[in-house]
Amino acid sequence: MIGGTLLAVFLCDWMWWISIPLVASVVLYYIALPIIEWLERRGLDHSKALWVFILGLTLLAAVLGPALLSWFTTQAYLVQEKLPAVLNRINETLGSSIMGMEEEYLWMQEAEVGKKINAKLELFKEGFVESYLPNVVVYVLHWVPCMLLVPYLTFFFLKDAHRLKKLLMRGVPNAFFEKVLLLFHRLDGQVKKYFCGLMMMTLLDTVTLALGLWVLGLNFGVFGIVPSIFLGLLCAVLSWLPFIGSVVGCLVIVLVCVIQSAEPAWLVFWAVILFVSVRLLDDFLYTPMTIGRSLSVHPLVTVLMIFAGGFVGGVTGLLLVMPVLGVAMVLGEIFGQVWFDARLRARYHWGRQLRLRAAREGLSG
């Protein structure tokens, strides 16, 4: 199964322009489905419920979009203004630490570690805009067209899910049909529950982090309530990516603290304490309360798979390895239960023989 997952990750990386939008659309489909089903239970038919949902989403984007855009612009301006000072501060702290170590260890002094690191940092500071920014912009731009597929695919998944399922089931041989349909329904139900739990957990994470950041912000005179909510939501969504997401989330918070505050050391300290506390709450309280442990993969396997996915498929592999592992486990379970049922296999072979016989009838004249 692990080999199959890595092969699938390799193929997904090769066809990243379709595999990433496809996975993102399936995730969004499961996130949006409970809302549409809730609307349907209120008496709207499926099409109307879908359009009401899209209208609601558009209105939300129209209301929140300008506020978030303005916050982003301010942050980008602050980054541009404060980044050289932040880099200098890092340079100074690193420099003094390395100098201390060089005084202690002769081999470091001989290797001129401090001098080399300083040279690298200077090069990064001077050449950042020329060397890295165009690459970042090109990288972001080449993702834009394929990400435009995401809302399009999600819309059709939401609109025609039953028809797509029917189409898939049409390819299943008669002997296995009922069993596959039964397993498919059970797994579909489990995935729905998983995503409902994930949404609840994201909400709890967002509220806890936002409250914590807001309180910290009051003490240090930095973030207001809206940036706190936004940062909380961003970190909660990033934590969907196991392990790596949490690290990136923590780095984002640290970066914002450093940029926002004149004396960031204590703010960063308390923000990291807050972040670690929320992660602990998440692991020991929120996750068992919401998602449960039924779908979880062993942490060791998760970490190894993330590294293997990154090695096989780079950034695409990092993003896709866990969803692909989930799909591989589901397919493996269905295949295992269906194919290793001797009676079903016998019925399948019997059905094939009958079909061949029926096809041959009348050929001899």
Partner 1 sequence: MSLFSYREDELSAELTLLREVPLFSTLKRRDLRVLEPILHERSYVHDEVIFEEGDEGLGMYVVLEGQVRIARKGLIGSKEVTRLGPGQFFGELSLLDGGPRSASAVATDSCRLFGFFRPEFLEILEKHEKIGAKISFQLAKLTTMRLRQSIQGAQINGSL
**Distance from C-alpha of 285 to C-alpha of 279, rounded to nearest angstrom:** 10
360 binds partner 1, rule: CB under 8 A: no
**With binding defined as CB under 8 A, does residue 347 bind partner 1?**
yes
Query: Is 37 a residue that touches partner 1 (CB under 8 A)?
Result: yes
Q: Mask of contacts with partner 1, 138-167, x by CB under 8 A?
A: ----------------------x-xx--x-
User: Which long-range contacts does 243-248 make (Cβ < 8 Å, 24+ apart)?
Assistant: 243/302, 243/303, 243/306, 244/306, 244/318, 246/279
In whole angstroms, how close is the CB of 149 to partner 1 at the nearest point?
21
Query: Measured from the CB of residue 199, what is the shortest distance to partner 1 in angstroms?
Result: 20
- How many angstroms separate the CA atoms of 99 and 165, rounded? 64
| 120 CB-contact burial (10 Å; exposed 0-12 / middle 13-18 / buried 19+) | exposed
- Region binding partner 1 by CB under 8 A among candidate stretches 41-49, 73-81, 137-145, 285-293: 41-49
Residue closer to partner 1 (CB basis): 154 or 202: 154
Is the CB of residue 334 less than 8 Å from the CB of residue 183?
A: yes
Is 51 an interacting residue with respect to partner 1 (CB under 8 A)? yes
Number of residues lying near partner 1 (CB under 8 A):
29
Residue owning tokens 């780079």: 314
Q: For partner 1, which residue of 343, 360, 362, 363 counts as binding (CB under 8 A)?
A: 343
Q: Could you write out the DSSP letters of every residue in 160-195?
A: HHHHHHHHHHHTS-HHHHHHHHHHHHHHHHHHHHHH
Instruction: Please work out, in degrees rounded to the nearest 5, the angle formed at the alpha carbon of residue 301 by the alpha carbons of 300 and 305.
Output: 120
Q: Which of residues 147 and 182 has its CB atom nearest to partner 1 in the complex? A: 182
Compose the 63-102 pattern: x for residues touching partner 1 by CB under 8 A, - for all others: ----------------------------------------
Distance from C-alpha of 108 to C-alpha of 97, rounded to nearest angstrom: 12
Question: Binding of partner 1 at residue 185 (CB under 8 A)?
Answer: yes
Q: How far is the CB of 341 from partner 1 (least distance, A)?
A: 10
CA separation for the pair 288, 296 (Å, rounded)? 11
Residue of the chain from 300, 342, 358, 363 that contacts partner 1 (CB under 8 A)? 358
CB of 354 to partner 1, least distance (A): 5
**333 forms part of the interface with partner 1 (CB under 8 A):** no
CA 274/CA 313 separation, integer angstroms: 33
For residues 146 and 262, what is the distance between their CA atoms, to the nearest angstrom?
A: 40
- Please give the distance of CA 306 from its chain centroid, rounded to a whole number: 12
Q: Does 192 bind partner 1 (CB under 8 A)?
A: no
Between 175 and 305, CB nearer to partner 1: 175
- DSSP secondary structure string for all residues of 93-127: HHHHHHHHHHHH-HHHHHHTHHHHHHHHHHHHHHH
Segment interacting with partner 1 (CB under 8 A) among 180-188, 212-220, 262-270, 296-304: 180-188
Find the part of the chain contacting partner 1 (CB under 8 A) among 55-63, 174-182, 254-262, 309-317: 174-182
Instruction: Provide the binding-site residues for partner 1, judged by CB under 8 A.
Output: 37, 40-41, 45, 47-48, 51, 160, 162-163, 166, 169-170, 174-175, 177-179, 181-182, 185, 189, 343, 347, 350-351, 354-355, 358
